Chain A
Amino acid sequence: MIPILLIMLLLPFAGILLAGIIDKWANYIASLIGLLEIVLFIYAAHIYMSSGPFSESFYFIPGVANFELIVNNLNIVFLFLTTIVFFASYLSNGFFIKEERSSYNMLNMLAQSTVLGMFLSGNLLILYLFWDVSIILFFFILFHFGGLDRRYASIKFALYSLFSGSLLLIGIIMIYFYLPMHSFEISYLMSHGYQIPINLQLAIFILLMISFLIKIPSFPLHSWAPDAYSEATPGGAMLLAGVVSKFGIYGMLILFLSLPIARSYSFEVASIFAISALYGSIVALSQKNIKRMLAYLSISEMGIIGFAVSTFNVIGISGAIFGSLSHALIISLLFMLVFLIEKVFGTSMLNRLNNVIVQYPLIGYSFLFGILATIGLPLTTGFITDLLVLIGGDKSFGLLILLPAAAIILNAAYLLWTYERSFLVGENMEIYDFVDENAKAAIALLVLFIIIIGVMPSILLNMVGTL
């Protein structure tokens, strides 16, 4: 039996070695690694579909934890979105990153390994290790390669994330000590979580929820996100908004399915997320910079997904998992496009951008597609997400769904307004750069997957199954 999951985890290291040796081809190597990861994922998904969840266990810390990697119905979609978004970001790096290619791509590949490790890990200790290491890696991606205000943004990101990581660590240690068999294993936690004393469950729940709220990011702990997203590199923004924000959702899924206390506080959590969804869209409306607008859009959408997790029913949770994928694909497409716009036209400020669609139809039409997918065009992933989230939300919370529904409407309103002002009308602008094949391939990849999965959502929904 080939340890496919371990290969998935270690493959980027081969890429790192190669990229270190052949400096010039660093980007091609990274793209190749990204492609191979998708192939490996498809193979793993094939095994999962034919013979159910499986795991690989390796010797790690005797008596405490094994190095266990798993594939089950919770993490498989997250693995999928990780491989896709990373591949797209590698492709786009070929266009965006012209200097220090090898070190940037090496950092990215390392990040892919840790992110995959985070989603693959079968016990909480390894999960925490990968969670924290990935923060450091993204800190360096931001700190060294980011935009003008990168120092401020990256340190803020690191402080927030490390704080969230430390809360996670405390929570994990508490879980370890109060589980009857003293175990870090996620499967054991999910089956025996109810045996933790109820007041300790509450403490763990609060600690972990704060940690996840920061990571998702959700109001009122979101203020690292707009800075980090808009100051990051294009690939960094795609990954932070598309993939890293899903850490919190994945953690919430595990938490909600293991601690019974979560069920009694689900309405409060749902309200926080519903408010966060509405808040994100209201703040986004008045933003002057499209990047920051997209950051708040992301906060709003993550609020909707978090809301779906807290519904606690099959449709809602399936909607959350599917929505994570949908959001990852769409927001990374939008972020990449806005960075392309910045590169091509020299600005991403709303009032300076004019008439993009005529001067650069590729960007204009792709951005329109991204907007329409965001607001839930049928046959894209956005529609399935909206449908499942609203059904699940109504099942658990009744008319509380009107808050996320209002957020969806507002998102549509300001995105269309932005599109009108900056993409459709006005004078022509100067063009500084031309989009090359790498970026085109990345756009095509994301658009293709948004449509394919939107038309055939059962591919993924069957993997999630009945939970």
Chain B
Amino acid sequence: MIPAPFILLPLIIALPLAGLLKNGKSVAYVSVGASFISLAMLPFISQGPLQINWFSVGPFQFSLVTNVSTLNYILLFLVLLLSPFIYIYSIGYFKNRVEYKRYYLEMLSFTTAMALFSIAGNFISLFVAWEFLSITSYLLIGFWYRKKSASRAARKALTIVFIGDIALLASIAIIWNAYGTLTFANLISIPKVASLLLLIAIFTKSAQFPFNEWLPDAMEGPVPVSAYLHSTTMVKAGVFIAILLFPLFARSNVLSYFTIFGITTASIATLNALKETHIKRILAYSTVQELGLMLSAIGIGAIGAALYFFFAQAFYKALLFFSSGIMIEANENENINSIYGLKRNRLIYISTLFGVLALAGFIPFDGFFSSVSISSSFSSNLVAYTIISLISIGTSFFIFRWLFAVSKDTKNKNISLSYITQPKSMVFTTAFLSILLLLASIVFFYFGSLGYMLSLRYEEAVIETILVALGFAISYMVYVKEKIVVSNRLLESLVYNSRLFNILYEWSAKFVYFISDGAGMLDLYINDMFDWLGHATILIGNFARKIENGDISFYALIIVLSFIAMSALVLFA
């Protein structure tokens, strides 16, 4: 049995090793090797907590605690399972780009941070991993920093996420002072303020309303980074903490916020996805929506459903990003209206189709079971249930629109050729992921029928199937048969609220800048005020100097006057 932190070791050792290597390809191979070794170590790690003392202040000991419970194991498994895929896919993706080394170094630190996060057993190790995630994701989103939009997106992401980081740190401070411990296992409840601050941390990390806009912008990063960010790492961190600390949230009565904000986010994201035309941004909105659904399920206590969704979503999301990467490379375009000919590569087409069906929630894919489990858990609340049903239709609608758009045929020979000549590492990882997706679906199928952790009711399953089919049918009618014409203006005014959010952010940024400008002026005034003190001293000096004019009779007058004044004082006092 290997102690849990040792699973990070291959990744950490690979960091300096990759740093020392000159050849880009060998850096990639070292990283892939390290990720495989970590994965191979996974079955052998020992369960249970482990404490490493870090530093002490006076009588207080701060330590890094790692813990491997079932929950931790699930996340660690997902992270380490998908890492080799991402790493191998990246070899092909970076074939024509030279920056292997920087990319793999950043990726390795990102994976290390996420692996540490998955085995965090107290708030200190959680925060260390959490903050490293923020900062490495900043580096990865802004990987092509020469592009103005990329550095902007990276900065936006880190600025928003950092609000949550400091909120987390503040809540850690409050929890420490309240209970004197930061180990999850020892905490029974947390103060309400602390849980609200934790909520902010979760919402920023998992891109929930009102912090939802950084994630779609983060699409400026390389494709494998998006695949990684959206399937297992970073955004999943927030949801994972919500699941892990569920009892603490439940005891401080903040669960309803999860549901309210989660459903709001899911609706907004679905609306955005309907009209978006950027191939990766549609998937990003879909991720935001899925995270919202998970959190809303957590809010009503449906932990099993959320966890189910958490697990299922990883495979098809990674798969869809992989295939969209191939499409972008083949077409050299990121707009779905200008992307053609997915069917030219049958392998990719079928893999993508599996991913789409899973995301839409078609039986028997894992997406179906997870969305049924979510909607079943809301069956007692009619309003929420209606919204979630609408979201279901919308999801199916926009993802089929996505598929129809990218699979339209083209006569352009170059495109069909470039589909076939895509790097093998990209094509095969995509295909392999679809096999993994099927495997996961089979597992889910059995677990689903066994009623493991949650109860799927037949009527819910039937309703879900109808809803998904409805979304598919509308999408088919609108975008393939073109029988229904959607009024663009109506849609835009209703749906395209992403711009609204950005305007809101910009205005708040401008407001802060305005205040800052005012404060800058105030600072100048303060400065001037002290300068005037100096000038006043000179003025007084100039005045006082006139008394010392060297005229003896004037001095005599002063002496006499002062003598009289003093005598008067003495006499009358």
Contact = CB atoms under 8 A, between A and B. Distances in A.
Interface in A297-351: 314-315, 318-319
Contacts of B534: 159
A386 B60 contact: no
B193 interface: yes
B492 interface: no
B516 A285 contact: yes
A313 B302 CA distance: 42
Contacts of B166: 386, 405, 408-409
Interface in B147-169: 147-148, 151-152, 154-155, 158-159, 162-163, 165-167, 169
Contacts of A394: 170, 173-174, 176-177
A413 B172 contact: no
A283 B516 contact: yes
Contacts of A18: none
Contact of A412 (B159, B176, B193, B523): B159
A425 B151 contact: yes
B169 A378 contact: no
Given A223-B530, A408-B166, A417-B155, A401 B145 contact: no
A375 B58 contact: no
B462 interface: no
Contacts of A388: 57
Interface stretch (B126-134, B230-238, B243-251, B428-436): B126-134
B55 A384 contact: yes
A399 B167 CA distance: 12
B515 A391 contact: no
B512 interface: yes
A319 B173 CA distance: 13
Nearest to A224: B530
Contacts of A419: 155
A9 interface: no
A358 interface: yes
Nearest to A379: B128
B58 A318 contact: yes
Contact of B58 (A283, A410, A465): A465
B542 interface: no
Interface in A351-403: 355, 357-358, 372, 375-379, 383-384, 386-388, 390-391, 393-395, 399, 401-402
Contacts of B142: 424
A458 interface: yes
A387 to B, nearest CB: 6
Interface string A424-467: 11000000000000000000000000000000111001101111
The B contact surface, by secondary structure, is: helix
A461 B55 contact: yes
A377 B130 CA distance: 10
A417 B162 CA distance: 13
B520 A416 contact: no
B131 A458 contact: no
Contact of A315 (B60, B135, B520): B60
Contact of B59 (A160, A409, A466): A466
A314 B135 contact: no
A314 B60 contact: yes
Contact of B158 (A318, A402, A416, A465): A416
Which of B170, B172, B522, B523 gathers the greatest number of chain A CB atoms within 10 Å?
A: B523
Interface in B113-155: 124, 127-128, 131-132, 135, 138, 142, 145-148, 151-152, 154-155
A156 B527 CA distance: 10
B526 interface: yes
Nearest to B514: A286
B128 A378 contact: yes
B519 to A, nearest CB: 5
Contacts of A383: 128, 131
Contacts of B163: 409
A52 interface: no
B213 to A, nearest CB: 15
A9 B58 CA distance: 30
B563 interface: no
Contacts of A417: 155, 159
A425 B148 contact: yes
Given A386-B169, A388-B57, A420-B155, A287 B520 contact: yes
A417 B127 CA distance: 24
Interface in B205-241: none
A109 B185 CA distance: 54
A318 B57 contact: yes
Given A279-B519, A386-B169, A285 B131 contact: no
A394 B58 CA distance: 17
Contact of B57 (A156, A285, A314): A314
A405 B145 contact: no
A179 interface: no
Given A223-B530, A286-B513, A387 B169 contact: yes
B173 A387 contact: yes
A324 B473 CA distance: 65
A319 B177 CA distance: 15
B115 to A, nearest CB: 15
Contacts of B145: 357, 424-425
B220 to A, nearest CB: 12
A180 interface: no
A285 B513 contact: yes
A149 B145 CA distance: 36
Contacts of A464: 57
Contact of B520 (A286, A355, A393, A462): A286
B146 A425 contact: yes
B506 interface: no
A286 B517 contact: yes
A282 interface: yes
B196 to A, nearest CB: 11
B56 interface: yes
B172 A286 contact: no
Contact of A395 (B127, B172, B177, B512): B177
Given A223-B526, A413-B159, A390 B58 contact: no
A394 B147 CA distance: 42
B141 to A, nearest CB: 12
B155 A315 contact: no
A341 to B, nearest CB: 17
Nearest to A396: B177
A413 B176 CA distance: 27
A416 B155 contact: yes
Interface in A168-208: none
Interface in B495-515: 512-513, 515
A286 B515 CA distance: 9
B159 A390 contact: no
Interface in A99-140: none
B169 A286 contact: no
B94 to A, nearest CB: 19
Contacts of B57: 314-315, 318-319, 388, 461, 464
A462 B53 CA distance: 13
A466 B193 contact: no
A463 B55 CA distance: 12
A372 B135 CA distance: 8
B263 to A, nearest CB: 28
Contacts of A458: 54-56
A387 B520 contact: no
Shortest Cβ-Cβ A-B pairs, 4 listed: A285-B516, A390-B173, A314-B58, A378-B128
Given A417-B155, A461-B56, 7 more contacts: A376-B131, A383-B128, A412-B159, A425-B145, A457-B54, A458-B55, A464-B57
Interface of B: 54-60, 62, 124, 127-128, 131-132, 135, 138, 142, 145-148, 151-152, 154-155, 158-159, 162-163, 165-167, 169-170, 172-174, 176-177, 193, 512-513, 515-517, 519-520, 522-523, 526-527, 530, 534
15 contacts: A160-B530, A220-B526, A223-B523, A283-B523, A285-B513, A358-B146, A387-B127, A391-B176, A401-B170, A405-B166, A405-B169, A409-B166, A413-B162, A424-B146, A458-B56
